Structure 1
Amino acid sequence: MLKLGQILISLIALGLPLLSMPVNAAWFEATGQAVIVDGNKALAKKQATQEAIKQALMFAGASITSIQAVSNGLLQNDRFEIRSGGEVNDLELVNESYHDNYVTVVIRADIFAQESQCKAAQYKKRVVSAWFPIRDRQQAIAGGLGEFGQIISEHFEQQFNDTSRFARIKQRQPYYIYPNGPNVEEDIISLARKSDNQYVLIGEISELSIERSSRNSFLFWQDAPLSRNFHLELFLFDGNNATLLKQTRMAVNSPWEFELHQQVSPTSQQLWQSQFGQAVTSALVEQSAVIDEALNCLPTYARVLQVSSEQLTVNIGQQDGVQVGDTLTLFKHAQFYDSVGNLHQQLKLHPNNVKVTHVYSDTAVLGSTTSVPLVNIQANDFVARQ
């Protein structure tokens, strides 16, 4: 039995990362169907069109506050209002076909989400991290900082979780992932799935060298003071497809208050209370804010863990900001490559929404918002907050 708004949305822009949709313009193609009541084909067409566009906009993160007129004239008489601050750059009617008791309408929309939409309340994103490797480990010999990458990843996690507004680092795995490693994409996807997190943050210490300042010609008998460089590169990935979403770099040059051959524990207060330690901490705080802002506009997806008796259990809960009564959208996500190697993303939305009925620490139970049974839903399908 056909239901109003049963649609298939395909992301037309080739290679565009699925998780960056809310901050990019993208072409969406949506198919809407509506039942024809009492022979009123015009009303059914309008209902199918409105529903398809509304669903496409919600998934793109757009927020339309004014009545949009269609630019190509195909739907000039079908003006409608979608109240939700974004923009439709173009909208066209691709096809309409009538059957015995329903109409099918295919539209294509170029949607660009406004910046203000990023400030809307969303669930906190889950991030998983790992140790940060040192690119040139010879540089870590001075001072005995061979394990500095492990400690820096821990300090970054602490700073991030203490100050972030839009995400939290839920786990930090005790091993290194190299950003330029031969299997980095597989490593990113594997880490996200194994840890049950949506985003992956990895880093690399690209510089940890010590240098001497220029000697003062009048104080030639004194040793020139030491300074130390610390450069850290951070990489934020979509754990679903290993798409790089954000890359940032911090650089510190600070006095090194210790002797050249003096060993300093990377966990000691002696190090972190020094000028070098304080400069590194300050830079980590700044980079935490950069990564947090990058995560702000990204959507929150959750995976279906279990389907039982018309109820779904998903892998987000109270810690992520989920509340009883929240309404979510069900969808299946698929990726495929065409014959020339271009990556396509597809979202197939379920016609029924679901509502949160019970919330636990890191899971939630959802039920249908209507009396219609939840069919064709399986574990590893997804839900998204509207």
Structure 2
Amino acid sequence: MKAIALLSCLLLTISTNVAAQWYDAKGRAPIVNGDEDIARNMAVQDAIKHTLLFTGAQVNSISQLSNGLLSSDRFEVRSSGSVRDLLLISEEIVDDTMIVHIRADIVASKTSCHASNTKKYVALTKFPLRNRQQAVVGGIFELGSEAAYQLFEQMSSFNGSYGVSQLLPINQVIAPNYQPFVTDQSNMSAPQLLAAQTDSQYLLSGEVKDVSIARPTSKWFGIANNNPLRQYIATYTLFDGLTGEKVWHKRYTTQAPWTFDQREKIDPATQEFWSNVYGESITNQLKQVTNDLNIFLQCQNLRGQVIKVNDRFVTVNLGKRHGLMVGNELMVHHATQFTDDRGILRQSTQVNPTTLVIKTLYDNHLEAEAKDSPLYGDIQNDAIVSLKP
């Protein structure tokens, strides 16, 4: 199958160096136009990405490569660790696919934060195409929606600092530089409304900016290519579902040969599309999004909302699935908004003096009591609650 493997056989080997660990991984890449060298390098990069997703290390640079491997094709994957050494154990070609087995010596970062052991939940919207005319070749009008589904699947299987709650069945474009706008009488913005529907702390929105296709004016990876190149440029924006504010935004660019017949209609929901070199290039981009989100969210504080208040305890929409335990202490924040002198709507919070202690824990909600005094009457539904450092 001409697909970069979504799952790799990863074997952890104990190293005598306590500051590093050796990881084995396999990677795949299709052989385009018979060039095995380029396929080998792409397969090695695929294998390295699998080790990074598995270990949680995100590499800034490769400082040393054994046997000159990738000596002229250095690349970077933003991270808090590094690959100190890289060995190519074996390679084989199966059905025009290069399969490599590598061993990487990964030095992981020692940085940590009190929120790194908690899990924040993210809801996704589908990704619309900005210019549908660009999708005429191949008839890939549903590519944005299918890419959102592929990202949802990757995030669902990713073992990191977040979980995914739901892929909302809507194409929702929310400008990354928008001013939080009220959409109904509850004074909630669009990101807040959508996140509330899924009980999520964050909302991820995206847009496919460019899927244009053109004959290449230069060589692709240094080789002649008779197939036209097709772009896949997308932006992804993460919103705080409790305040509606944009907290993360990034643009990603990739391109690959479009090897299908110009008159052929391709369904982006098929394995035929995703096993093609163009589909694989999009898959690699989505892997990077998955990893970048983990880097950003791992030290963001876990937060939820009060959903019920009575004389003895408050109920919060956080629970076991978020990594909490009985006895954890919580802080209560009251969210407010104000308009500054330039007319920009700003978010503000006031910390309630009451500290809550978790007494009863369920999968997706908890019951907490005041630590030192009776509950203050100003703790009301929808108040924001965060894990106390």
State percent identity of aligned pairs: 26
Partner of 1:154: 149
With over 3 angstroms needed to count, the CA separation of the structure-2 counterparts of 1:230 and 1:184, relative to structure 1, is: farther
Partner of 2:120: 125
Deviation at 1:193, TM superposition (A): 3.0
With over 3 angstroms needed to count, the CA separation of the structure-2 counterparts of 1:327 and 1:340, relative to structure 1, is: same
Q: Is the 8 A contact 2:180 2:245 kept in 1?
A: no
Partner of 1:375: 376
With over 3 angstroms needed to count, the CA separation of the structure-2 counterparts of 1:383 and 1:179, relative to structure 1, is: closer
Separation of aligned partners in 1, 2:174 and 2:130: 10
Cα offsets for 1:202-260 (capped at 9, x unmatched): 111011122223599xxxxxx94232211111111222333222111221111222100
Separation of aligned partners in 2, 1:127 and 1:362: 14
Letter in structure 2 aligned against 1:232? A
Report which of the two structures shows the higher radius of gyration computed on alpha carbons: 1
Q: Is the 8 A contact 1:119 1:296 kept in 2?
A: no
Letter in structure 1 aligned against 2:126? W
Partner of 2:279: 277
Map 1:1-386 → 2, pairs under 5 A: 116=111, 118=113, 120-180=115-175, 185=181, 186-213=189-216, 224-338=226-340, 341=343, 343=345, 345-370=347-372, 372-376=373-377, 377-386=379-388
Q: Is the 8 A contact 1:304 1:381 kept in 2?
A: yes
SS of the residue corresponding to residue 175 of structure 1 reads strand
Cα offsets for 1:70-115 (capped at 9, x unmatched): xxxxxxxxxxxxxxxxxxxxxxxxxxxxxxxxxxxxxxxxxxxxx9
Separation of aligned partners in 2, 1:296 and 1:133: 28
Q: Is the 8 A contact 2:115 2:302 kept in 1?
A: no
With over 3 angstroms needed to count, the CA separation of the structure-2 counterparts of 1:324 and 1:267, relative to structure 1, is: same
Q: Is the 8 A contact 1:127 1:198 kept in 2?
A: yes
With over 3 angstroms needed to count, the CA separation of the structure-2 counterparts of 1:199 and 1:374, relative to structure 1, is: same
For the aligned residue pairs, the C-alpha RMSD in angstroms reads 2.6
Separation of aligned partners in 2, 1:314 and 1:201: 23
SS of the residue corresponding to residue 206 of structure 1 reads strand
Alignment coverage as a number of residue pairs: 265
Separation of aligned partners in 2, 1:367 and 1:119: 22
Cα offsets for 1:15-36 (capped at 9, x unmatched): xxxxxxxxxxxxxxxxxxxxxx
Please state which structure has a larger fraction of its residues in helix: 1
Letter in structure 2 aligned against 1:375? Y
Deviation at 1:312, TM superposition (A): 1.2
Q: Is the 8 A contact 2:319 2:364 kept in 1?
A: yes
Separation of aligned partners in 1, 2:271 and 2:289: 22
Letter in structure 2 aligned against 1:200? L
Letter in structure 2 aligned against 1:130? T
Cα offsets for 1:103-148 (capped at 9, x unmatched): xxxxxxxxxxxx9564653421121210101011011121121111
SS of the residue corresponding to residue 261 of structure 2 reads coil
Separation of aligned partners in 1, 2:254 and 2:346: 41
Deviation at 1:169, TM superposition (A): 2.1
SS of the residue corresponding to residue 204 of structure 2 reads strand
Gaps of 5+ in 1: 1-114, 217-222
Separation of aligned partners in 1, 2:366 and 2:115: 22
With over 3 angstroms needed to count, the CA separation of the structure-2 counterparts of 1:342 and 1:263, relative to structure 1, is: closer
Q: Is the 8 A contact 1:211 1:228 kept in 2?
A: yes
Separation of aligned partners in 2, 1:299 and 1:207: 34
Deviation at 1:307, TM superposition (A): 1.3
Partner of 1:38: none
With over 3 angstroms needed to count, the CA separation of the structure-2 counterparts of 1:139 and 1:342, relative to structure 1, is: closer
Q: Is the 8 A contact 2:166 2:198 kept in 1?
A: yes
Q: Which structure carries more relative contact order (alpha carbon 8 Å, separation 6+)?
A: 1
